[in-house]
Chains A and B, each alone.
Chain A
Amino acid sequence: MSGFRKSMVAMLAPSLGLIAIFILVPIALTVWLAFTKWSAQTPFSTATFIGLDNFREIFGTGSVGRDFKGALANTALYSLMSIALILPLSVLFGMLIHQADLRGANILRTILFATYMVPMIAVALVFSKLYSPSEGPINQILGWVGIGPLPWLSSPDTALVSVVLLNVWQQVGYFTILIIAGLTQIPQSIYEAAKMDGARGPALFGFITLPLLKRTLLFSAVIALINAVQVFEPVALVTQGGPVGSTNVMTYHIRRVGIERAQGGLGSAMSVTLLLALVVTVTAVFALARREDRR
């Protein structure tokens, strides 16, 4: 090995070693546990290999499989709704704030970003009161214009959407800042040239802004997806996965199975499945984007 290579390995070893210890080893351990029967309260040495039994059970027709598939579907729905609301809203707010001649743009930017800085635990507790069907201010306000009362978190038909709205309220400011950063990368000269060719508002947005914002939007979508899949606090604090399991998302369900019921093998199988689902989805999004680029 050349001196250069030796020094390169020596310099990379500490950081790669830490990554291996704190990231790769736990992932490998989780994958191994997914193929075992193991009570999470006992040493790893008590885990017994059972092949694919855990995976058969979580995709089976029994209560374990039904609850897991329900949680997976809820997580997918939650993620889709979150992304579908966060991205357009952040582009809208980003465009508004990015306008150089808008008065108070900095104040608006600060207010929007402030929601992201409020801890989710506080947001969840406040929203649980805001959503109160009988005494909550949201229903009272809607009542003034003849709407409602809506059940919000109290009905399986609306509970997940209510948690999504809470998430959107908190996250949209962060994504707005990302969009603004993307907008500043678009040269003004392109807009000026298009205007000279007669392009106006919607055309400028559709043919210049959106295409040139694609990479930022792609990055935002992936981050929003990862954030959405990791939703936990509002469910744990406010809905406990209910009513009728309608807000039982994957992280909460894995915690319930793996820790509360101490079924470590099953919980690990669920975690591995979630990880695979996330990897496949993100890879598909990037592959789609690359294909679009080639066109």
Chain B
Amino acid sequence: MTIRPLMGLFLGSALAAFSSVAWAEDVTVSFLTHWPPETVAKLEAAAATYAKDHPGVKVEVRAVPFGDLLTTLRSQAGQSGGPTITGIYDLWLPELARDKLVNAAPEANATDVTTNWPKGVATAASVGGTVYGYPNEIDVYALNYNKKLFEEAGIQEAPKTWDEFYAAAEKLTNKDKGQQGFGMINSWAAGVVHPFASLLASNGGALVVDGKPQLDSDNAKATFELYEKLIQSGASVATMGTADANTTGPFLDNFVSGKTGMIIMANWWESALKAGMGDRFADIATAPIPVGPKGDGPHSISYSWMTVVSDGASDAEKKAAWDFLAWFNGPTSGENGASAMGDLLQSMGILPSRTSDVAAFSERLKTPFLAGYVSALSEARPFPTVLGGQEFTESLQGHIEAVQFGKETAAEAAAGAQADAAAILEKAAQ
């Protein structure tokens, strides 16, 4: 026996070992999210489970505050070290697709989305019929109220109309205790605009119809007037509604500490409320959005989130990212037929959107808090996802806050918001 076969065997083994090591570190997929640390830990656990069967792929999670999410995506997407997967708000998708920052889903993934998600949700994850991401959470708004404060104020049930809502807000107000009837948010664009839009929808109106803003309609004017009336009567105190970049701050503090009787908030706040209130979370109940004089029933606005893949990532990263997302959102990654994403969303009190997840969590979704949101889904109005949507939202936020702080009257706000929105949407469409 000569040394040559042994050398060959040695080299062959070494190459195999080397290639196995190299394969193990082959592709790194970074996942950018705004989720809190406990949810990030769950995502990392899911990534570790995935890695067991996919030794060539490593999924790294990066978390930033919600306020920094879009900026981080826009400034780092496609660059070395930039995020491969990002969780985004559907409002941002049209511009991200226009700027070619997000990768169109491969056919198999696109079919997965259109087959396994409700049509409206799949549409929100698409631009011009092209699917760009895996939808995950869907959010709607409802009236949250403190049952204990209602009892103290002698209010029997949740308000159903604007008149009952205003009356309840006045009864709940106790200036000596520093207690306000209804809490309005400021300093957080979506937090300001979504409750307003839900009240507007429940008064028969809409923010945008056929690409044109409708902020000076009678329905919208009445919504601005409701805000003005609540502020002027002292039933809402604007300075109690500030939010910070993490969507916490005095607005949350005042509701969890029982200084705010009612708020209009989304279902995903359940985890924040539970964390802030502990056992007192049992005092919180959910009811439909009060209906305005021109409304035909309670209508929340709805919006969804999705995970998209950066178009600037390498082909190997994109392939690995789509494969991970298919698994992560698929029915085999979680427990009892749910997806791992569904498990994770449920841990935050967020409604999943995949049809099989909704079935898997049907019992969980019957809790008193979440049931109110689930019932709002069928009559919800999607928040308009248009080019210039973020600027439109921030502009409207400015006018709503101006009413809250007495800087504009309801009429001035309606006229100003309409003029600004028309200019913004027209420019964005060019």
Contact = CB atoms under 8 A, between A and B. Distances in A.
A68 to B, nearest CB: 13
Interface string B399-411: 0011011010000
A69 to B, nearest CB: 13
B244 A41 contact: no
B71 A255 contact: yes
A35 B402 CA distance: 32
A128 B77 CA distance: 31
B407 A133 contact: no
Nearest to B249: A128
Interface string A112-133: 0000000000000000100011
A244 B407 contact: yes
Given A63-B395, A63-B424, A243-B186, A154 B250 contact: yes
Nearest to B390: A261
Contact of A243 (B74, B242, B245): B242
Which secondary structure dominates where chain B touches chain A?
helix
Interface stretch (A15-23, A234-242, A268-276): A234-242
Interface residues of A, number: 34
B420 interface: yes
Contacts of A242: 186-188, 242, 401
Interface string A36-50: 000111100000000
A132 B253 contact: yes
Contacts of B71: 255, 259-260
Nearest to B78: A41
Contacts, number: 103
B423 to A, nearest CB: 5
Contacts of A182: none
Contacts of A238: 244-245
B68 A132 contact: no
A255 B394 CA distance: 14
B363 to A, nearest CB: 37
A156 B187 contact: no
B405 A134 contact: no
Contacts of A133: 239-240, 250
B101 A41 contact: yes
Main secondary structure of the interface of A (DSSP, over half): loop
A62 B421 CA distance: 10
B319 to A, nearest CB: 23
Contacts of A255: 71
A256 B391 CA distance: 9
Contacts of A236: 67-68, 245
Contact of A240 (B74, B245, B420, B423): B245
Interface residues on B, range: 35 or more
Contacts of A134: 178, 240, 250, 253-254, 257, 259
A260 B242 contact: no
B70 interface: yes
A245 B188 contact: no
Interface string A247-270: 000000001100111100000000
B402 A244 contact: yes
Interface string A131-155: 0111100000000000001010111
Nearest to B398: A245
Interface in A61-82: 62-63, 67
Interface-centre pick from B77, B178, B401 (highest chain A CB count, 10 A): B401
Interface in B76-101: 77, 95-96, 98-101
A128 B394 CA distance: 23
23 contacts: A41-B99, A62-B423, A63-B398, A63-B423, A67-B398, A128-B244, A132-B250, A133-B240, A151-B239, A153-B242, A154-B242, A236-B68, A237-B65, A237-B245, A239-B187, A241-B187, A242-B401, A243-B238, A243-B405, A255-B71, A260-B390, A262-B74, A262-B95
Interface of A: 39-42, 62-63, 67, 128, 132-135, 149, 151, 153-156, 236-245, 255-256, 259-262
Interface of B: 65, 67-68, 70-71, 74-75, 77, 95-96, 98-101, 178, 186-188, 238-245, 249-250, 253-254, 257, 259, 390-391, 394-395, 398, 401-402, 404-405, 407, 420, 423-424
Given A135-B257, A156-B407, A260-B70, 16 more contacts: A41-B74, A41-B96, A41-B100, A42-B99, A42-B100, A63-B420, A132-B250, A154-B238, A154-B239, A155-B239, A236-B245, A239-B242, A240-B67, A242-B186, A244-B398, A259-B75
